[in-house]
Structure 1
Amino acid sequence: MSEPRVPGSRDASLTLPCGESVDVRRFDMGMREFRCECGEVHAIVMDVHPLGRFVPEFLETILLETIDTASGADFGTLHMLGIVKEEFPQKVVSKDVSNDGQLGCSMLWVSDFDDRRLHEIVVELIIELMEHAVSHADDDAAMSEFEEQMLSFDVAAFVEEYRSQRDFHSASDQPV
């Protein structure tokens, strides 16, 4: 017998990178982390979360204007988390939850990393994208300047400052 097409009627379980299984309906758009039964805290990202969660909006705008995607869609969280998952296939799981109207998103990612470490990884990967783009400019001076600037760039310090300015530690921004 076929299953009726009722939102939320599909399998809502997700096996996390640690091996635990969780009902995705426990997550909501305001969550950044999930305290798991395994004892660890896992980062949660949804496609509705803007890339500005990780980098300033001016950089998000530059990435949107600069990067052409194979799908033709704007570069954003969907693509960035795809890159993270590609780099860390055993540490990130994703689920298409577009048929579940209770969540308010279409894609969900849960990582083995906590939110802070995931934030650092995203920034590191964006720097790699930028370095790749500069290398294709065939401008040795630009490449040298970029490399020189990156030598003094501290990812962990950037993430710390960005998170403190964005107030990622408010009462509503804690692991559940």
Structure 2
Amino acid sequence: MAAPRVPGSGGGDELELPCGETVDPHEIDLGMREYGCSCGDTHAVVTDVHPPSRFLPESLVVVLRESIDTDDDFDEFGTPHLLGVVMEEFPDQVAVYDASGDGAVGYALLWLTDFDSRRLHEIVVELVVELMEHAISHAEDDAAITEFESQMLEFDVSEFVDQYRRRRDFESEYDQPV
């Protein structure tokens, strides 16, 4: 006898994770930041509805949105772009699921990484700093370039992530942007 299911709930959709295990995307809810996998590892979970301020201060997100033109289906720079950069650097360590045709999940895109959520956070910050370094290298203001470079010498990604995650209270589903 067939098992009853909710219409549109998928059934049979599987996402292969970087570790080789599979997960039904319908098991991932919008509040999840990590997935405890049967492989024994914890994988970061990100959906397109998670704001970029999950990783970066809102003031920096505003600057990125004002500075970066997107040539895609998204209205403005956001989480899909951040994860796109991560995928570009780590193509074999990020699995992505397109749920745009699946109204049962609450998101259009899902990413699960080979990293836990803290390591993913560090990677996102490192890649945004690289993006900023590249952008400033094209500036015609030598003083601005020198100032940026000196600030980056003092910037500790790991410490930033620790402080940001403490301020955001990632243990609560009610965390707020900084």
Mean Cα deviation higher: 91-100 or 116-125: 91-100
Q: Tell me the CA shift for residue 168 of structure 1.
A: 0.6
Mean Cα deviation higher: 132-141 or 102-111: 132-141
Deviation string for 1:71-90 (max 9, x for gaps)? Answer: 27311101110010010001
TM-aligned CA distance change 1:75 to 1:11, over 3 Å = farther
Please report the TM-score for the alignment, with normalisation by the length of structure 1. Answer: 0.90
Deviation string for 1:19-66 (max 9, x for gaps)? Answer: 001101110110000000000000000000000000111111110001
Instruction: Count how many residue pairs are aligned between Structure 1 and Structure 2.
Output: 168
Write the letter of the residue equivalent to 1:98. S
Question: What's the Cα RMSD here?
Answer: 1.7
Q: Tell me the CA shift for residue 172 of structure 1.
A: 8.3
Q: Tell me the CA shift for residue 169 of structure 1.
A: 2.1
Matched, 1:87 2:89: yes
Mean Cα deviation higher: 149-158 or 98-107: 98-107
Matched, 1:42 2:43: yes
Please report the TM-score for the alignment, with normalisation by the length of structure 2. Answer: 0.89
Write the letter of the residue equivalent to 2:119. R
- Any gaps of 5 or more consecutive residues in structure 2? 1-6
Q: Tell me the CA shift for residue 143 of structure 1.
A: 1.1
Equivalent position to 2:146, from 144, 147, 164: 144
Q: Name the CA distance, whole Å, in 2 between partners of 1:100 and 1:116.
A: 29
Q: Name the CA distance, whole Å, in 2 between partners of 1:123 and 1:55.
A: 7
- Superposed structure 1 runs of 4+ greater than 4 Å apart: none
TM-aligned CA distance change 1:107 to 1:41, over 3 Å = same
Residue aligning to 1:120: 122
Mean Cα deviation higher: 75-84 or 9-18: 9-18
Residue aligning to 2:164: 162
Residue aligning to 1:33: 34
Residue aligning to 1:103: 105
Q: Which has the higher contact order (CA 8 A, sep 6+)?
A: 1
Q: Tell me the CA shift for residue 12 of structure 1.
A: 1.9
- Any gaps of 5 or more consecutive residues in structure 1? 1-5
- 1:52–1:60 Cα contact (<8 Å) kept: yes
Deviation string for 1:115-162 (max 9, x for gaps)? Answer: 000000000011111111111112221111111000000000000000
